[in-house]
Chain A
Amino acid sequence: MKKNSLYKGTLQNIILKLLSKEVKMYGYQITQRAKELTEGELEMTEGALYPLLHKLEADGIITSEIQEINGRSRKYYLLSEKGKKQQAVQEDEMRSYLFNLKTIFDI
């Protein structure tokens, strides 16, 4: 992360959430979408993104497919069935975590 190391531990949640919304995405698109949604606040480093994508793929949480786009080979990532379930669970946990944090910081 460029601006905030607090995002670091939530990178997996962010990727899974983006994939659940966009169905399939490639590496650069993930970095740009995260940046766009957070109005430039969250800048994923490539060195953090790709090892995590490969780990999630090895764990069977995401799958990949290679497509030819304008003469370029592009690797797209998609949520697997296992990943969809995991994403739903993680999203619930994250929402509860954020709600609790907000409660504490609002006092």
Chain B
Amino acid sequence: MISEEQKLEIEKYLMSKNLPLDILFEVKDHFMTQIDCFQIEKKVSFDTAFRDTKEIWKEDLKQVKYYNEKEIASFAKDIKDKNAKKKLRKAVLSTIVALAVLFSVSRLMDRSDFSEFFMYAIIIFVSVPGIFVLRYMKFYHLSFQNKKVRLNIYQGYEGLSIYFGFLFPFITGYYSQAGDGIYQFFSGSVDEFTDIMLFTIISLSYFFTIFMQVGFIKSAKKMTNEINRLHRLKI
């Protein structure tokens, strides 16, 4: 049976491997079960069983650079990469749907109605990440408070959430101008190609942000107890 002190030793070791908490707690359970089994089967001390378990995990916990130059365990990078690609695919699909909806609406409305519709649609959509940030401030606060600890594989996109949730509409004034250009493009004017391109890029980034944000919140909610416990221990 692993003591509290030994449990802490395992946690500290895994924290040093830069694992996001959602992966860390799963790996921690794996480590503890594996150590327990080694101690019983091989009749060895905790230290020996811990050393043997670390050896088994050596390759998977090897530190590699992530795109932001921060180090991360190699298998966690694999999980993060696959996840980001999946979200990106969903964002591409959502952008295509958004363009199709805008095109259909532009066929049903005149130019000024469409511009107004576009403006309200943008305001509503863009306020969603802002509402999420405010509603789940405690998770964002935790991630900002302790830069060394990553809550989950979705962390690292807080900046984008804040940009789309609060800053984007005010900085760019985009919502009040782009609707007209998009309407004209859908009506056959190629001069407004820049507007549609800009909308596509922004829409892609927006949907990617939203999917990552939803993942971040869902995962953090599941992990609340573990996050609070580690936070109390100040690991």
Give A contacts to B, CB under 8 Å: 26-28, 32, 45-47, 50-51, 54-55, 58-59, 64, 66, 72-75
CB of B30 within 8 A of CB of A46, answer yes
CB of A47 within 8 A of CB of B60, answer yes
Distance (Å) between the CB of A47 and the closest chain B CB?
A: 4
- Name B64-89 residues within 8 Å CB distance of A: 74-75, 78-79, 82-83, 86
CB of A75 within 8 A of CB of B60, answer no
CB of B82 within 8 A of CB of A26, answer no
CB of A50 within 8 A of CB of B79, answer yes
Q: How far apart are the CA atoms of A23 and B86 in the complex, in Å? A: 27
A-B pairs with lowest CB-CB distance, top 8: A47-B60, A47-B75, A28-B33, A51-B78, A28-B30, A54-B79, A51-B79, A75-B26
- 5 further A-B pairs in the complex, CB-CB below 8 A; given A27-B29, A46-B57: A45-B60, A47-B74, A50-B75, A51-B79, A66-B222
Contacts of A58 in B (CB 8 A): 82-83, 86
Q: B225 in the interface, Cβ–Cβ < 8 Å? A: yes
Residue in A closest to B30 when the chains form the complex, CB atoms: A28
Q: Select which of B33, B34, B37, B83 is within 8 A of A54 by beta carbon.
A: B83
CB of B60 within 8 A of CB of A54, answer no
CB of B74 within 8 A of CB of A51, answer no
Given contacts A27-B26, A47-B74, A58-B86, A72 and B60 within 8 Å (CB-CB): no
Q: B25 in the interface, Cβ–Cβ < 8 Å? A: yes
The tally of residues in B whose CB lies under 8 Å from a CB in A reads 26
CB of A54 within 8 A of CB of B82, answer yes
Contacts of B56 in A (CB 8 A): 46
Distance (Å) between the CB of B83 and the closest chain A CB?
A: 6
CB of B225 within 8 A of CB of A73, answer yes
Q: Select which of A51, A59, A73 is within 8 A of B29 by beta carbon.
A: A73
Given contacts A28-B34, A54-B83, A58-B86, A47 and B78 within 8 Å (CB-CB): yes
Distance (Å) between the CB of B30 and the closest chain A CB?
A: 5
Q: B99 in the interface, Cβ–Cβ < 8 Å? A: no
Q: B162 in the interface, Cβ–Cβ < 8 Å? A: no
CB of B30 within 8 A of CB of A72, answer no
CB of A46 within 8 A of CB of B26, answer no
Distance (Å) between the CB of B75 and the closest chain A CB?
A: 4
Contacts of A26 in B (CB 8 A): 29-30, 33
Q: How far apart are the CA atoms of A86 and B82 in the complex, in Å? A: 20
Q: How far apart are the CA atoms of A54 and B83 in the complex, in Å? A: 8
Pairs A–B under 8 Å by Cβ, sample size 11: A26-B29, A28-B34, A45-B59, A45-B60, A46-B27, A46-B75, A47-B78, A58-B86, A59-B86, A72-B29, A72-B32
Given contacts A28-B34, A46-B60, A73 and B25 within 8 Å (CB-CB): yes
Q: How far apart are the CA atoms of A51 and B223 in the complex, in Å? A: 18
Q: How far apart are the CA atoms of A46 and B17 in the complex, in Å? A: 15
Q: How far apart are the CA atoms of A59 and B82 in the complex, in Å? A: 11
Q: Select which of A47, A55, A75 is within 8 A of B59 by beta carbon.
A: A47
Q: How far apart are the CA atoms of A54 and B77 in the complex, in Å? A: 12
User: What 0/1 readout, one digit per residue, does chain B (30-62) give for beta carbons within 8 Å of chain A?
Assistant: 101110010000000000000000001101100
